[in-house]
Amino acid sequence: MTTLIQSTLPIVSGFAVGQIMRLSAIDSGSIALAMFVSSGVVTQTPKGMVISGTGVILNIVLVALLATILVKLTETAFGHLKMLLQPLVVVLVAGGLD
């Protein structure tokens, strides 16, 4: 159980960064997802995906910076489609830097 809780470090950190920057819930969630994807917490095995460890802390910090900048740049760019497009773009661009 402790390993599972440790594995949520990137998600909790992403929401914390969003709260510090006074971002909306969807913005904070986008940052959290990008950090979770790029941290290395999830590893792929022949039987499926395994969640273990806290990931690489340096990746978490760098992706937090890049994802926050990307969220700030795209806050008004997507209009009514923000809930669909912003998480996708942030995860693919900032989270794909693994």
Surface-to-core class of residue 48, CB atoms within 10 Å of its CB (0-12 exposed, 13-18 middle, 19+ buried) = exposed
How far is residue 64's CA from residue 84's CA, in Å, rounded to a whole number?
Answer: 20
Our measurement of the distance from residue 7's CA atom to the centroid of its chain's CA atoms, rounded to an integer in Å, reads 13
Any idea of the CA torsion for 50, 54, 55, 60, to the nearest 10 degrees? 130
Tokens of 68: 């926050």
Domain interval for residue 70: 2-93
Residue 43 lies in a domain: yes
Any idea of the CA torsion for 22, 97, 32, 57, to the nearest 10 degrees? -100
Q: Are 10 and 50 in contact (CB under 8 A)?
A: no
Residue 98 lies in a domain: no
- What's the number of domains the chain is made of? 1
pTM over 0.95: no
| Tens-digit pLDDT profile for residues 12-57 | 999 999 999 999 999 999 999 999 989 888 888 999 988 888 888 8
In this prediction, residue 98 has a pLDDT band, given cuts at 50, 70 and 90, of: low
